[in-house]
Structure 1
Amino acid sequence: MFLEDDSIVPDECEFSSEETFNEYVLRLCRDVAQSNVPPVLFTTGLGVPENVEGLVNRRYFADSHYLALVCDDDVQADRLRARPRWEGSDYWADVDKQVEFNNWFKDYAVEEGIDLLDTTNMTIEETATDVAQWLANHVTEQNTYCD
């Protein structure tokens, strides 16, 4: 089951900390996994191993795998600026923050155990195909849930 963290959290929910939010999202993944349906979470900051591995609900998963989609800085900035503006934020600062986060993945992927997919010269279709192949190689019912 594919989950995206912004869409699975009700608007009325407020969290006292980023860790509380992360526990909530991982608990939802745990609940899905109990049905022998491998959850695949699409997210940003939660996808950093440091934000997942120490969580209480992490113990319910035999494995966790990380894939970061990265690209050249100027390509990412152009792609982000081509999107509709985000309401309630400093738009240009958000682009700079996203490019910085993109670089964090490139700098620390090996150390953190994160697989990278460089999408700089890829079409959306090529990217989707490569992500699907990565998922097929990493996500199985056997490595989903631990009692």
Structure 2
Amino acid sequence: MIGICSKCGNHNWDKEVMNGQVKCPKCGDTWKFNSLPLYILTGCSGIGKTTTGIEIMKKQMDVVVLDADMFYNIMPGATEEDYYAQVEQLESLSKNIMQSGKPVLWTMAGNLDKLKHTYNSRFFSDIHCLALVCDEDALRSRMTEGRGIVDEGWIKSSIDYNNYFKTHTSLGDTEFDIYDTSEKSMSEVSDYVIGWMKRTDI
């Protein structure tokens, strides 16, 4: 909605964005919008992203918390083009939500490398990512005991992805911060994430 020109009706993804203004290249009209940070809480499957997001919602922070898994239920997810389309929709939804004055925090496992290579990325003041990690024993316990996962292939894939986050600081050209949750309660983790958002412009 924020990207549609009310003067000429241009709904194409071709808008210019600068200094809190959106400009329609078709008719030259401009309008104000809230440019806020986009927050991504990432990490491997089973690390506790969703649970942390729920804890943040319980604390009634002035942020909208959403789970990117929703796109897997309504959009294709088999090719790189599919994943780019999902990220575009995630960011399109977020840019409209933030017109209420609230930033958006997504829990999201993959596609970090696509966040800054989309049309809709231009609408955010910045994109911040925080990866939750933990030691292998804690992750295996969370997956098998916490979520009832017994598929060893799934577990190994999560362990490998967790190790990537522990040993890197970026995926593609998207940088991320890291927080080790091994010995932390979900309340402690959510408090850390809230503090992290405050330190990065919330």
Task: Confirm or deny that 1:70 pairs with 2:126.
Answer: no
Deviation per residue, 1:22-56 (Å, 9 max, x gap): 1111211122123322111111103x2x1211111
Deviations 1:1-25 (A, max 9, x none): 1111124x48443356111111111
| Deviation >6 Å, runs of 4+ | none
CA shift, 1:75, in A, is 1.4
CA distance in 2, matches of 1:79, 1:5: 20
Partners in 2 of 1:104 and 1:38 — Cα distance? 28
State how far apart, in whole Å, the 1-side matches of 2:94 and 2:120 are.
9
Q: TM-score, normalised by structure 2?
A: 0.59
For the Cα contact (< 8 Å) 1:45–1:51, is it kept in 2?
Answer: no
- Structure 1 letter corresponding to 2:115: V
Q: CA RMSD in A?
A: 2.3
2:161 aligned with 1:101: yes
Summarize deviations over 1:87-123 as a string: whole Å, max 9, x none.
Answer: xxx8221111111111111121168531111011112
Letter in 2 for 1:41: W
Q: Which residue of 2 aligns with 1:91?
A: 151
- The aligned residue for residue 120 of structure 1 is 182
Once the two structures are TM-superposed, the CA of residue 135 in structure 1 deviates from its matched residue by: 1.8
SS at match of 2:132: strand
Name the CA shift for 1:62/1:102 in 2 (closer, same or farther; >3 Å).
Answer: same
Structure 2: give runs of 5+ residues left out of the alignment: 1-63
Taking the TM superposition and a 5 Å limit, the aligned residue runs for 1:43-62 are 43-46=108-111, 48=112, 50-62=113-125
Give a deviation string over 1:63-102, Cα, whole Å, max 9, x none: 111111101122112211113346xxx8221111111111
Structure 2 counterpart of 1:144:
none
Identical residues among aligned pairs (%):
23
Query: Alignment length, in residue pairs?
Result: 134
Task: Report the Cα distance in structure 2 between the residues aligned to 1:95 and 1:124, rounded to whole angstroms.
Answer: 21
Which structure carries more relative contact order (alpha carbon 8 Å, separation 6+)? 1
> Structure 1 unaligned runs (5+)?
141-147
Contact 1:85 1:91 (8 Å CA) reproduced: no
- Match status 1:26 vs 2:78: no
AA aligned opposite 1:5: A
